[in-house]
Amino acid sequence: MTALADQVAFLLACDRLKAVTRTTFLHDGTRAENSAEHSWHLALMAVTLAEHAPPGTDVNHVIRLLLVHDLVEIHAGDLHFAAPPAEHASQAQAEDEAAHTLFGLLPEPQRADVHALHAEFVARATPEARFARALDALQPLLLTWGAGGMGCAEREPDLTATRVLALKEHALRDFPALWTLAQEVVAGAVEAGTLPA
């Protein structure tokens, strides 16, 4: 196959991301979000919230990280952020295997470049990756409990405000405005009755 044919095969395989159902619902609560919608929304968040990234952050690189980060869910599926640690460990292994399978469709050196983007996101080793991970932590919180959000008590009855903040703090605490926003959203959800304290 030619490089172009390999690239087209990769793009067509990536179309399957639209069929990966996430555990997060749309803000209006009508249905589950899919992983392609999630990735688009995160890229839009990176553009919109760029002023909250550390000085010198390459926002275009953040967008590339966000567009690639969940492609592995085509093979590995989505896992709720509040799942037990053992499930997260198993998911990480499945995503690593999925990265080799999916990114292996691309020609070199593009294969290595896309694989490196995914690895960078997972490792949180750069300012861009840490900002991308912060947005990834914030987006489901905004959809679920942001003003007018429906909550998820029926789907996740064990979630409390304390637990949500404990699970989100690691990704958000280095971004003061975003961490404050997360705390305000959670407090508002408690007040609205969509999240127990």
CA atoms within 13 A on the CB side of 169: 6
d(CA 69, CA 76): 12
**pLDDT at 134 (0 to 100):** 98
Q: What is the pLDDT along the chain (197 residues), one digit of tens a residue?
A: 699 999 999 999 999 999 999 999 999 999 999 999 999 999 999 999 999 999 999 999 999 999 999 999 998 877 677 667 787 777 778 788 889 999 999 999 999 999 999 999 999 989 999 999 999 999 999 999 999 998 988 888 888 999 999 999 999 999 999 999 999 999 999 999 999 99
Question: Has this prediction a pTM greater than 0.85?
Answer: yes
**pLDDT at 90 (0 to 100):** 77
**pLDDT at 128 (0 to 100):** 98
Helix (H) or strand (E) holding 159: none
Name the burial class of residue 180, with classes exposed (0-12), middle (13-18) and buried (19+) by CB atoms within 10 angstroms of its CB: exposed
Burial pattern 184-196, b for ≥16 Cβ within 10 A else e, equals ebbebbbeeebbe
Assigned architecture for domain 3-192: Orthogonal Bundle (1.10)
Q: Which residues fall within 8 angstroms of residue 106, CB to CB, at 6 or more apart?
A: 6, 7, 10, 114
Domain boundaries, the chain: 3-192
**pLDDT at 82 (0 to 100):** 63
Q: Which residues fall within 8 angstroms of residue 87, CB to CB, at 6 or more apart?
A: 79
Structure tokens at 59: 């926002």
**pLDDT at 124 (0 to 100):** 95
Rounded to the nearest 10 degrees, how much is the dihedral formed by the CA atoms of 102, 105, 111, 117?
-20
d(CA 75, CA 103): 12
